[in-house]
Amino acid sequence: MFSFLAADSADCSTSLFTVKKKLFLITIAASATLTALPSRTGDSKSEPGVPATSGQADSLGKTAGKAAKWGTDFEAGLKQAKEMHRPILLDFTGSDWCGWYMKLDREILATPEFKQFAGQHLVLVKIDFPMHQAQSDVEKARNDELAARFQVQGFPTLVLLDPEAKPCGTLGYMRGGTEAFIDRLASLIASRSLTGCRGCLCWLRLKLFTDHG
């Protein structure tokens, strides 16, 4: 890359303008080369059960740290939970008529803080029983079966499962906002020694440090 400059340097008749022009081109080429080099600031792999860092793709090709989205297919969610080594949170609700669910959604589930936490630690599946939204007979029957399976008595009921679909605890609307809700979720995950609970343990330790620091 530098050979043409070396050749010209032997010729005293080369103009100062030409030298400056070639130095400029060398600088641009060197900058492009450095930009193209791969980053070595950290290992691209993560341990199983430990949420990937921001910008690192998980096993499904999604970036950890993105705001989580609610799915509606239990079997697909369970498959995703197994592949990602994460617990799954089922939200049994009547989304278009249950006032307590709307309050829970507005105060907690729709907040950026909950979405970020869920995006790092959970797989989310909504099991809906609407009054004014169309559902197929297959979806209605499947949701009824899931409600009976997990002994849901009212709405909203959130059931936390391990990646093998074993229940680990239930939640509903609770006072205290997003922080209290996330603390409860993290505590359930950690106390059950679920796969992937290391990140939640870090969450609890950080909270204890900040609360009592």
63 vs 55: CA distance, rounded Å: 6
Which pLDDT score is estimated for 45?
Answer: 40
pLDDT at 97 over 60: yes
Residue with the larger pLDDT of the pair 148 and 199:
148
Tokens found for residue 95: 């989304």
Which pLDDT score is estimated for 193?
Answer: 61
Residue with the larger pLDDT of the pair 68 and 95:
95
Which pLDDT score is estimated for 190?
Answer: 86
pLDDT in tens, 10-48: 443 334 334 344 443 444 344 344 334 443 333 434 333
Which pLDDT score is estimated for 191?
Answer: 80
pTM beyond 0.75, yes or no: no
The single-letter code of the amino acid at 147 is A
Rounded mean pLDDT of 77-91?
95
* Domain map (residue ranges) of the chain: 3-36, 74-212
91 vs 124: CA distance, rounded Å: 8
Tokens found for residue 196: 């992937």
pLDDT at 116 over 70: yes
Tell me the three-class secondary structure of the chain, residue by residue.
CCHHHHHHHCCCCCCHHHHHHHHHHHHHHHHHHHHHCCCCCCCCCCCCCCCCCCCCECCCCCECCCCCCCECCHHHHHHHHHHHCCCEEEEEECCCCCHHHHHHHHHHHCCHHHHHHHHHHCEEEEEECCCCCCCCHHHHHHHHHHHHHCCCCCCCEEEEECCCCCEEEEECCCCCHHHHHHHHHHHHHHHCCCCCCHHHHHHHHHHHHHHHC
Question: At 194, is the pLDDT very low, low, confident or very high (cuts 50, 70, 90)?
Answer: low
Rounded mean pLDDT of 116-129?
96
φ/ψ of residue 87, rounded to 5: -70, 160
pLDDT in tens, 152-189: 999 999 999 999 999 999 999 999 999 999 999 999 98
Mean pLDDT of the chain: 73
Q: Which fold has domain 74-212?
A: Glutaredoxin (3.40.30)
**Among residues 77, 87, 89, which one has the least CA distance to residue 157?**
89
**Among residues 210, 197, 196, which one has the least CA distance to residue 85?**
196
